[in-house]
Amino acid sequence: MNIAESETAMKTIYLKDYQQPAYWIKKTELDVAIYSGETFVQSKLTIEKNSAVQSQILDLHGENLELLEIKIDGRNLAESEYTLTDTSLSLTPPVQNFTLETRVRIEPEKNTSLEGLYRSRTMYCTQCEAEGFRKITYYLDRPDVMSDFTTRLSADKTTCPVLLSNGNLIDSGDLDDSRHFAVWHDPHQKPAYLFAMVAGDLAHIEDSFTTCSGKQVCLKIFVEPKDLTKCDHAMASLKNAMRWDEEQYGREYDLDIFMIVAVDDFNMGAMENKGLNIFNTSCVLASPETTTDAGFQRVEGVVAHEYFHNWTGNRVTCRDWFQLSLKEGFTVYRDSEFSADMGSRTVKRVEDVAFLRTHQFAEDAGPMAHPIRPASYMEISNFYTLTIYEKGCEVVRMIANLLGPELFRQGSDLYFQRHDGEAVTTEDFVAAMAEVSGRDLTQFGHWYNQAGTPELTITDEYDENSRQYTLTISQYTPPTPELSEKKPFHIPLRVGLIGDAGELALTLADETVEDLPSDNTDRVLEITETTQSFVFNNVPEKPVPSLLRDFSAPVKIKYNYSRDDLCALAIRDSNGFNRYEAVQNLAMAVIDDALNANASGASFTLDSRLTDIYRQLLAQPDLDQAMLAYMLSLPAEGYIAEQQTLIDPLAIHRARLQVKSALAQALHAEFKAVFENLKAIVPYSADAQAIAKRSLKNVCLSYLMDAPGEQELSLCLEQFQSANNMTDEMAALTALVMADNEQAQQAAEQALASFYNKWKNEALVVNQWLALQARNTAAGGLTRVNALMQHEAYDSTNPNKIRSVIGSFCGANTPNFHNISDPAAQGGYAFLAQQIRELDAKNPQIAARLLSPLTRWRRYAAPFSELMREQLQELAQQPGLSPDCYEVVSKSLA
């Protein structure tokens, strides 16, 4: 199928067409018999007519299934009694309520899409969200069909001693031919996307948790036996998450057992199947020797995220896939608050905002932009996006901030109580919040159905005579594919005013003394109109406004700060997030200086104000070291790119490096002193303070290694060789690889070789090793990446390896991916297109995800944009392109 043919075959699905199913499936009894090379799935469905729908047709989903048998109420159906296509089985049942039995044959060993039942190394496992269950058996594979599941699994006892599914184990035993079976029953009704099963030779660790009402829950984490020593952190995180959900949301766990299984081949991070979460090994396994601090934090966050889904997603689920953000946005909000409570709130906020602004803002400005509740899609797998997750989280956060903690909790209590066991919509969520607070959230609803990042242009005026200070705020949201003219959003804008001596007390013109909050230096302005003014009274001096504190809304701010204003905020703002923001803004201005100087052929001089701020920061040992590390890190290239009208990636890369080098040079002594101060090898600890120290130390190291002399090189090598944890070892290796200096490059070669030798049996470490080389910005990147793909450590069927090599090269190696000087290579664009062609046949979900760097072609300057577009056009001609890639390619070219 090329693009013209696909156009007719591909169907767009619209939210407005939603209809309930014609039938419900009350009970689902599965018998799954796994044999080497083939698996037989027998299903018995207890079906009831949905009287609310007229149609009598039962239209079941099914893909890659070989139908062996079909019966209604025990009677075999003749072929004339049903219609079979590649994706469906439909029939008109003779009665309203009946049992439908089918028997199908599937081949998990040949399933490379990693959706449905598939084999990963030594085990069989499933991934059903969003539409994978239909690759296991014929079914109404949609989230509003909720059923009571009983699953009988059988397999060879030696190769698959462990047999798991959702719920509680109700029977097990031996069979003939050295086979055995297990029967699991899940007492909670659920949609098929939450179904899971696992069969394999797995080891596990076990613990228990006593819930708030005194129930004992058995907790098990299953892994390949070699990984058994790396599960403790995930287990501790799980118990913390269970306690936190009881305390913060009043949510108790609802089964006797909670299991996590780690698999190596997995399309994403993890999956919240009821009582049986399945995880990518990268989100479960952790040990100080093999896992960086970021890796530890990811495990904690993902374990919590999947656990929290038990209420936000499983107990209360989505009516249809347009509602995806109902569960994902809310659950990301829950996990980010959990992580903030486990570590530092400001640091977590800085990390989340940097991620959102670099990646989600780019998505929102590109051809795949969509509201957090889209109105249409072709392939739902393409909608597990940063917008649904990260912007969805910000929308829930805005509601939480507008309501305040007590009312938000009342709202979530009402939502859970009212909709437990139901499949609902984002409106139901907002309605609960509106009801408890008495607030009208109608206009707020635009966050759910308009895409794009609002831009707030802010001007101010100070009148010395009346001592009034006025902020005037206009909002504008650029057009996105679904909508060009946007209605104004309801935007909470948290502000403070900074005077010469610090924070000023705030009184809005319509406030009386009784209205004033106890902390009177901070206010949330609710923007609802296209242009709106807010007047502050009794302002003693012209202040510097501290805007969008804690990033109170996912918007862009345009305010004409002078560099001196930014310096004032960087030092005096009481809001930690905004101090960070001021330093980032100042750094952005300096990077702009470099961009402008380079564009006009002038020479670049570093604005000493940035150096001074950095110097002051480096001299304040009492500052939170994790925050310090972030404040001393220049904005990422992706973030800088977001600020440009047209992106010249090479110019951005060069300008950022220039600024970094200039800072490294100007502050060499300061970076050295802080590094020396922190470099002593201390016993490893994973607490927040130790993590903060490592991150500050390694930021200093990366500056010191900018133009390393003998001394710096040996400091770096010493850290590489003597590190007692992966954070320090990897930071040193990264600094070596990234140093633009021949001696360092030689040392890097050796270090890479010895690192591989040391860690070649640790897949997750090898992935980091691959990713680092794929990110290596030295010339010759494409050749290196091609060589990596021939390396024994590479596996073209494993998503983690694909992401490590192809994803890192195309997403995080600007000078090589965009190196268009060699016309044959056309940057990495032709390389990426070729990889997508090869992958698409095996794993369309991963192929479609890899496309994203090319989809942004319109944002780039010529000739980058043209060359990217050519590759997309060629892909569009590709016969047999998957629906996943078809949707992304066609929307990118539209």
Which residues are marked as active site? Answer: 306
Q: Which of residues 300, 328, 394, 550 is near ligand B3K by CB under 6 A?
A: 328
Nearer to Zn ion, 328 or 352 (CB): 328
Residue 381: contacted member of Zn ion, ligand B3K, none (CB under 5 to 8 Å, by partner type)? ligand B3K
Residue 191 CB-density burial (10 A; 0-12 exposed, 13-18 middle, 19+ buried): buried
Question: Token pair of 752, please?
Answer: 């890479």
Of 327-335, 439-447, 455-463, 607-615, which part binds Zn ion (CB under 5 A)?
327-335
- Supply the minimum distance, in Å, between the C-beta of residue 127 and Zn ion: 13
- Supply the minimum distance, in Å, between the C-beta of residue 106 and Zn ion: 27
Q: Give the separation between CA 51 and CA 362, rounded to whole angstroms.
A: 46
- The count of residues interacting with Zn ion (CB under 5 A) is 2
The DSSP call for residue 508 is: B
User: Are 264 and 125 spatial neighbours (Cβ–Cβ below 8 Å)?
Assistant: no
Of 321-329, 437-445, 582-590, 650-658, which part binds Zn ion (CB under 5 A)?
321-329
- Supply the minimum distance, in Å, between the C-beta of residue 280 and Zn ion: 13
Q: Give the separation between CA 311 and CA 743, rounded to whole angstroms.
A: 55
Question: Token pair of 794, please?
Answer: 């590479």
- Supply the minimum distance, in Å, between the C-beta of residue 331 and Zn ion: 5
884 binds ligand B3K (CB under 6 A): no
User: Are 190 and 218 spatial neighbours (Cβ–Cβ below 8 Å)?
Assistant: no
Per-residue HEC secondary structure of 711-733 comes to HHHHHHHHHHHHCCCHHHHHHHH
Nearer to ligand B3K, 328 or 706 (CB): 328
- Supply the minimum distance, in Å, between the C-beta of residue 238 and ligand B3K: 14
Nearer to Zn ion, 209 or 384 (CB): 384
Q: Give the separation between CA 815 and CA 650, rounded to whole angstroms.
A: 6
Nearer to ligand B3K, 129 or 394 (CB): 129
Question: Token pair of 683, please?
Answer: 């016993």
706 binds ligand B3K (CB under 6 A): no
Looking at this protein, which amino acid is placed at residue 808?
S
Residue 130: contacted member of Zn ion, ligand B3K, none (CB under 5 to 8 Å, by partner type)? ligand B3K
130 binds ligand B3K (CB under 6 A): yes
Residue closest to 303 by CA, chosen among 327, 347, 344, 270: 270
Nearer to ligand B3K, 360 or 658 (CB): 360
Residue 539 CB-density burial (10 A; 0-12 exposed, 13-18 middle, 19+ buried): buried
Residue reference for tokens 């005037």 = 472
Residue 789: contacted member of ligand B3K, Zn ion, none (CB under 5 to 8 Å, by partner type)? none
Residue reference for tokens 């889904």 = 309
Q: Give the separation between CA 769 and CA 766, rounded to whole angstroms.
A: 5
381 binds ligand B3K (CB under 6 A): yes
Q: Which of residues 272, 335, 648, 887 is near ligand B3K by CB under 6 A?
A: 272
Residue 434: contacted member of ligand B3K, Zn ion, none (CB under 5 to 8 Å, by partner type)? none
384 binds ligand B3K (CB under 6 A): yes
Question: Token pair of 749, please?
Answer: 């070669």
Of 52-60, 266-274, 610-618, 669-677, which part binds ligand B3K (CB under 6 A)?
266-274
Of 303-311, 433-441, 579-587, 597-605, which part binds ligand B3K (CB under 6 A)?
303-311
Of 201-209, 304-312, 368-376, 704-712, which part binds ligand B3K (CB under 6 A)?
304-312
Nearer to ligand B3K, 118 or 580 (CB): 118
Residue closest to 61 by CA, chosen among 17, 98, 115: 115
User: Are 302 and 272 spatial neighbours (Cβ–Cβ below 8 Å)?
Assistant: no
Q: How many residues does the chain have?
A: 894
271 binds ligand B3K (CB under 6 A): yes
Residue 773: contacted member of Zn ion, ligand B3K, none (CB under 5 to 8 Å, by partner type)? none
- Supply the minimum distance, in Å, between the C-beta of residue 363 and ligand B3K: 16
Residue 611: CB partners within 8 Å, gap ≥ 6?
663, 666, 667
Per-residue HEC secondary structure of 839-890 comes to HHCCCHHHHHHHCHHHHCHHHECCCHHHHHHHHHHHHHCCCCCCHHHHHHHH
CB atoms under 10 Å from CB of 605, counted, come to 11
Q: Which of residues 227, 254, 300, 306 is near ligand B3K by CB under 6 A?
A: 306
x/- site string to Zn ion, residues 328 to 347, per CB under 5 A? x--x----------------
Question: Token pair of 536, please?
Answer: 């502050």
- The count of residues interacting with ligand B3K (CB under 6 A) is 12
Q: Give the separation between CA 734 and CA 710, rounded to whole angstroms.
A: 17
Looking at this protein, which amino acid is placed at residue 372?
I
- Supply the minimum distance, in Å, between the C-beta of residue 848 and ligand B3K: 10
237 binds ligand B3K (CB under 6 A): no
Q: Which of residues 119, 188, 233, 305 is near ligand B3K by CB under 6 A?
A: 305
Residue 450: contacted member of Zn ion, ligand B3K, none (CB under 5 to 8 Å, by partner type)? none
Q: Which of residues 260, 268, 495, 739 is near ligand B3K by CB under 6 A?
A: 268
Residue reference for tokens 């200086």 = 593
The residue nearest ligand B3K at its CB is: 129
- Supply the minimum distance, in Å, between the C-beta of residue 141 and ligand B3K: 13
User: Are 586 and 567 spatial neighbours (Cβ–Cβ below 8 Å)?
Assistant: yes
Distances (CA, A) of 352 to 233, 336, 360, 364: 22, 8, 11, 16
Q: Which residues bind ligand B3K (CB under 6 A)?
A: 129-130, 268, 270-272, 305-306, 309, 328, 381, 384
Residues forming the site for Zn ion (CB under 5 A): 328, 331
